[in-house]
Amino acid sequence: MKFRAVLAFAAAAVLAGCGLNSVPTAEENAKAKWADVQAAYQRRMDSVPGLVETVKGSAASEGKILTDVTNARAKATSVQVSANDLTDPAKMQAFQAAQQQFNGSIGRLLASVEAYPELKSQANFTKFMDQLEGSNNRITIAIRDYNNAVQAYNTRIRTFPDAIGAKVFYGSKPMVPYAAKAGAENVPDISFGNSN
């Protein structure tokens, strides 16, 4: 009887060391962090219509930029990545491209506002600017947390002994981290239309 108990304990210890619990835990953590990234982007998307309406009322001549922002927002919200897509580099790249296009449109909107200083004094515009900045900060933090979770998961499924359970029991594949677009390290050129 003691032999069976020792054997059962040894078998449990071996299986526990093979990632049976740690691999799905790390995977679920990465998926939860991805949900945080999506929530942060959604928060920003939800705040943009108010920003657009505020600016539209004050700068009707900037209609093209506002249209670009609205169209980029629509495109950015149409590209969705579910937790099941986190191992698909193409879907992750499409999501990132849509978000980057939206970021570019927001940048052009903000540059046009700089050309019209009277807009900056409006309390609503200042409020939306603060909300947008806060949203962008939340996105940055959520992406960092997601990438940390992906790194932990990818390391776990590739290292011994968890790699055994990851391959044998789960067929785990590496997840795709969120990456900056090429050239993101360069300072963007900003023109307010007043240079010689």
Q: Which domains does the chain have, with CATH numbers?
A: 14-170 (1.20.1440.20)
Alpha-carbon 126 to chain mean position = 25
Half-sphere exposure at residue 49, Cβ-oriented, CA atoms within 13 angstroms: 5
Q: How far is CA 86 from CA 66, 169, 195, in A?
A: 32, 19, 44
What number of other Cβ atoms are within 10 A of residue 143's Cβ?
22
What number of other Cβ atoms are within 10 A of residue 25's Cβ?
14
Q: What is the pLDDT of residue 133?
A: 85
**Residue 192 — pLDDT band, cuts 50, 70, 90?**
very low
For residue 91 the two structure tokens come to 């879907």
Q: What is the pLDDT of residue 85?
A: 84
Mean pLDDT of 170-174: 88
Q: What is the pLDDT of residue 74?
A: 77
End-to-end CA distance of the chain: 91
Which of 37-41, 75-79, 95-99, 162-166 has the lowest average pLDDT?
Answer: 75-79
Q: What is the pLDDT of residue 105?
A: 76
Question: CB burial class (10 A; 0-12, 13-18, 19+) of residue 111?
Answer: middle
Which of 84-88, 120-124, 126-130 has the lowest average pLDDT?
Answer: 120-124
Q: What is the pLDDT of residue 184?
A: 59
Q: What is the pLDDT of residue 196?
A: 45
Q: What is the pLDDT of residue 65?
A: 65
- What's the pTM value of the predicted model, to 2 decimals? 0.63
Residue type, 130: D
* pLDDT surpasses 60 at 135: yes
Mean pLDDT of 107-121: 62
CB contact set of 17 (below 8 Å; sequence gap of 6+): 161
Q: Which residue has the higher pLDDT, 49 or 124?
A: 49
C-alpha 186/C-alpha 188 separation (Å) is: 6
* pLDDT surpasses 60 at 171: yes
Cα angle at 106 between 59 and 53, to 5 degrees? 40
* pLDDT surpasses 90 at 76: no
Residue type, 95: F
